[in-house]
Amino acid sequence: MFCTGIENSVPTIDGGRTRVDEMESCRHYERWQEDFTLVSDLGIQYLRYGPPIHTTFVGPGRYDWEFADRTFAELKRRNIVPIVDLCHFGLPDWLGNFQNPDFPAQFELYARAFAQRYPWCQLYTPVNEMYICAMFSAKYGWWNEQLSSDRAFVTALKNIVKANVLAMRCILEVRPDAIFVQSESSEYFHADNPAAIKEAEHLNEMRFLSLDLNYGRRVDSSMYEYLLDNGMTREEYDFFPDNHLKQHCIMGNDYYITNEHRVAADGSTRPAGEVFGYDGITHQYHHRYRLPVMHTETNLAQGPAGTEAVDWLWKQWSNVLRVRNDGVPIVGFTWFSLTDQTDWDSALRVRNNNVNAVGLFDLDRRIRPVGEAFRQLISEWRNVLPTQSVCLTVPVVMPESADGDHARAQSERARQMNVEAAGARSMPGK
């Protein structure tokens, strides 16, 4: 699944007074039809995309679908498969922030309402980068609640992951053959010296927390103590292993040059650059979860030489092929995003309106060298990969076929399988 995305981050900063809306700053609201044309022109059929939550989810049980109706109708008309991104780093003003215990139940209602309104949508990322969202909002103090403590981080994390699980559960009730692509940052922490080993090990256990909880994997003992010491109750923890949704998931992992870190003896971190690379770190995550994998985000800015992004694309694609050739079922690759972004050089912490030249197109919708390279890559590899293994084809129903007999039969088969699986789990000893 060759893929790109429309950047739809919407965190708040300045104590909640300022909304950072990447769709607005990248002018997608004005140029969305043109953006979808660009996706098609590149030969891309999969798009990470979602409605802006802060203007769509306007109150408890209240929704404004006007923009979503127009954009999703156009995606369906163009036969572009959306990987629906429902929550990307921010919440509506009326919900506040990720410390709000009402968020999971409210988000479940939103996810159900979306799935009922657009039943042809099959692929979802309910909450984007759960670990990063909790870390930047409640540990680093950058976004949303702008808190900086382990207790605030654990509170944000348990609310975010519970919201994601509840969303998956209710979407499956509407669309039994739904597939969930977790877009999660793949991280690694390198110890600078022996005195830093303990802290690096702690951070390397923390990086798995969001996916451990989401997939119902019992966390390691040190992380269990960490969660309970910082406000999670045993009842709250037990919610996660009691849900069995892993079989509906693709483990999407994101890799940037900033994903590896050096850890000092005092616990401080700094960028390490590319050390293990996507290949090495993906094997660590796959070994832990044993799920199909999708490379769901990467980019690099086009620099003074003009070839930096193109070289990074080649390197990431080479890593994807290496992972695949080593026997890991990897099913997709994403350059994120379609257009340049703004203010990610400061992690969206300030509104400088700095343009980050990381897109396949610039903000005037002129193709960048990496866009040309990605189009060529897709055209050269699209027909080669299926000949290596048809078993790695994801059972996606294309939008143009969503109302057909095959789609209905697949959905009904999935519904029966879900019922049988639930019955088996309820038997003693399961």
Strands 179-185 and 249-254: parallel
Please state, in angstroms and as integers, the Cα–Cα distance from residue 162 to each residue in 98, 132, 212, 389, 404, following that order. 11, 15, 12, 35, 34
Average pLDDT over residues 401-410: 90
Q: Flag whether 411 is in a domain.
A: no
Average pLDDT over residues 119-129: 98
C-alpha–C-alpha distance, residues 37 and 28, integer Å: 12
Spell out where 255-402 has E strands: 260-263, 269-271, 293-297, 330-335, 341-342, 355-356
Task: Read off the CATH number of the domain in which 178 is found.
Answer: 3.20.20.80
Q: Flag whether 323 is in a domain.
A: yes
pLDDT at 389 over 80: no
pLDDT at 428 over 70: no
Q: Residue 54 belongs to what domain range?
A: 2-402
Task: Report how many domains make up the chain.
Answer: 1
Average pLDDT over residues 183-205: 97
Query: Residue 429: its pLDDT value, please?
Result: 56
C-alpha–C-alpha distance, residues 6 and 340, integer Å: 10
Q: Flag whether 137 is in a domain.
A: yes
Query: Residue 148: its pLDDT value, please?
Result: 98
Q: Flag whether 414 is in a domain.
A: no
Average pLDDT over residues 22-32: 98
How much is the pTM?
A: 0.96
Q: What is the mean pLDDT of the chain?
A: 95
Which residues does 4 contact at the CB level (< 8 Å), separation at least 6?
A: 39, 42, 44, 47, 48, 334, 335, 336, 337, 338, 360, 374
Query: Residue 423: its pLDDT value, please?
Result: 74
User: Tens digits of per-residue pLDDT, 220-255?
Assistant: 999 999 999 999 999 999 999 999 899 999 999 999
The band of 375, judged by pLDDT with boundaries at 50, 70 and 90, is very high
Query: Residue 388: its pLDDT value, please?
Result: 61
Query: Residue 367: its pLDDT value, please?
Result: 98
pLDDT at 391 over 70: no
Query: Residue 427: its pLDDT value, please?
Result: 64
User: Tens digits of per-residue pLDDT, 273-324?
Assistant: 999 999 999 999 999 999 999 999 999 999 999 999 999 999 999 999 999 9
Q: Flag whether 416 is in a domain.
A: no
C-alpha–C-alpha distance, residues 88 and 343, integer Å: 16
pLDDT at 54 over 60: yes
Q: Flag whether 348 is in a domain.
A: yes
Q: What is the dihedral of CA 359, 364, 368, 370, to 10 degrees?
A: 20
